[in-house]
Amino acid sequence: DKTVSLRKDLSEMHEWITQAEEEYLERDFEYKTPDELQKAVEELKRAKEEALQKEVKVKLITDSVNNFIAKAPPAAHEALKKELDVLITSYQQLCSRLNGKWKTLEEVWACWRELLSYLDAENKWLNEVELKLKATENVQGGAEEISESLDSLERLMRHPEDNRNQIRELAQTLTDGGILDELINEKLEKFNTRWEELQQQAVRRQKSLEQSIQSAQETDKTLRLIQESLAAIDKQLTAYTADRVDAAQVPQEAQ
């Protein structure tokens, strides 16, 4: 009987749709690791593609039902037509929901990759700060050399806040959705702790270098005054010697 055969096809397709909904749309997903998230993205992509491939079967069923209705008595039309309409609606909704969820997970995965990229960039900058702090630990030389070290440290610390703001926003977006929250919180805590420590070290080093510059400038000034004084005394003594003045005849300091 053609009606039985058509209803069987309709029923089998309904069962497949129900199973797909339970498997991919109604069960709760937990993404605690990047591997779980990536696996879910790939799984949803396969499910979406599989659903699209079923379009051929839905079309065949639709054609079969419509052909049957065209030839069958009116009494058999209504029930079959209703079942077909329900099937088509359910199928289209399934495809739309699978596609929507896949796109959402793809965006979440891209968000995670972007967060890692920003963290990597900021950690590279922190590595540079660490190296600069070591390089300026015991600066040798006068005020000019110390001033150059201070300038290079200050230039490095004029690092824009953009990346750090992006890290905060991306992390908030992911953890608000309960995605990779433990891992992200752990990474952020480690990053923020390191960032704060190096910032504080840099501030202390800047103050230390400023004090060193001041001390070096005072030393330079003192040495210059001594040199000027020695030069004046040398000039005076040279004049005394040229005039063959006896030591006992000159002031005490000249003696």
Domains of the chain, residue spans: 2-212
pLDDT digit string, tens, across residues 21-57: 999 988 777 788 999 999 999 999 999 999 999 999 9
**Cβ contact 115:171 at 8 Å:** yes
pLDDT number for residue 105: 92
pLDDT digit string, tens, across residues 168-216: 999 999 998 888 999 999 999 999 999 999 999 999 999 999 998 888 8
Q: H helices of 55-180, where?
A: 55-71, 77-135, 143-157, 162-176
Residue 163's nearest CA partner among 206, 219, 131, 122 is: 122
d(CA 7, CA 83): 8
CA dihedral angle for residue 65, residue 67, residue 70, residue 71, rounded to 10 degrees: -100
pLDDT number for residue 249: 62
The residues near 64 (Cβ < 8 Å, ≥ 6 apart) are 6, 9
pTM of the complete model: 0.78
The residues near 52 (Cβ < 8 Å, ≥ 6 apart) are 95
Residues 2-212, CATH architecture: Up-down Bundle (1.20)
The tokens describing 197, both together, are: 């420590």
Rounded (10°) angle between helices 2-21 and 34-53: 160
pLDDT digit string, tens, across residues 49-81: 999 999 999 999 999 999 988 887 776 677 888
pLDDT digit string, tens, across residues 159-173: 999 999 999 999 999
The tokens describing 41, both together, are: 């993205």
Which residue matches tokens 């009606």?
3
